[in-house]
């Protein structure tokens, strides 16, 4: 006959001051102002990742555009998506509003630049929204919570989309770990 020994469960009580400090910290982190980076776009890796040089402290920040996903360089339309982002942002002064760091240690930001076709316009261009508008990036509903108030609440598309097998919807298995050949 075997007997199983049970380990008694002990509850740890935290002092009220520690609980209060933890809650205050979590509230502050949840409602913190986004980090603002002002600099020049010096590189475009793909349709949703770029690098900004911050001249104030001579640092380069690798940034992923918030709320969108674009094809990787080796996927269909990946190079076209990268080229469009480069046309919009490369070599331009940019303002990045960052509120997160992803698992690859990139900042996740909303990027605003002066529109390439209107250098004297007062309103800056949201490059993530521009990528979605022309059809070179995808908008995912699960990213909607992370998007700013200026973003559409539904997928916004223009009439000028890519051909039939374009990134209107991501290919099956692209983000589930499937390998591309």
Tell me if residue 175 is catalytic. Answer: no
Separation of alpha carbons 115 and 132, rounded Å: 15
The catalytic residue among 82, 106, 107, 151 is: 106
- Written as one string, the DSSP assignment of 38-102 is EEEEEEEEETTEEEEEETTTTEEEEEEETTEE---TTSTTHHHHHHHHHHHHTTSEEEEEEEEE-
Report which of 179, 170, 172 is spatially closest to residue 48, judged by C-alpha positions: 170
Contact indicator for 69, 117 with CB cutoff of 8 Å: no
Identify the DSSP state of 9. P
The catalytic residue among 13, 18, 40, 64 is: 64
Phi, psi of 41 (to 5 degrees): -75, 120
Tell me if residue 149 is catalytic. Answer: no
Tell me if residue 74 is catalytic. Answer: no
Separation of alpha carbons 51 and 78, rounded Å: 18
Residues whose CB falls within 8 Å of the CB of residue 10, separated by 6 or more in sequence, listed in order: none
Residues labelled catalytic: 64, 72, 106
């Amino acid at each position: 006959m075997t007997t199983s020994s049970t380990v008694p469960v002990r509850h740890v009580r935290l002092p009220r001051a520690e609980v209060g400090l933890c809650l205050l910290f979590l509230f502050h982190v949840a409602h913190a102002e986004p980090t603002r980076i002002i600099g020049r776009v010096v590189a475009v890796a793909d349709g949703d990742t770029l690098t900004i040089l911050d001249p104030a402290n001579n640092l380069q920040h690798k940034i992923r555009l918030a709320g969108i996903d674009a094809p990787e360089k080796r996927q269909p339309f990946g190079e076209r998506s990268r080229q469009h982002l480069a046309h919009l942002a490369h070599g331009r002064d940019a303002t990045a509003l960052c509120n997160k760091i992803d698992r690859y240690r990139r900042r996740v930001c909303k990027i605003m630049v002066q529109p390439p076709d209107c250098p004297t316009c007062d309103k800056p261009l949201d490059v993530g929204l521009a990528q979605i508008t022309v059809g070179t990036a995808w908008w995912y509903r699960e990213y909607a919570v992370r998007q700013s108030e200026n973003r559409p609440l539904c997928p916004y598309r223009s009439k000028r989309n890519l051909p039939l097998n374009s990134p209107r919807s991501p290919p099956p298995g692209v983000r589930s770990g499937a390998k591309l050949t």
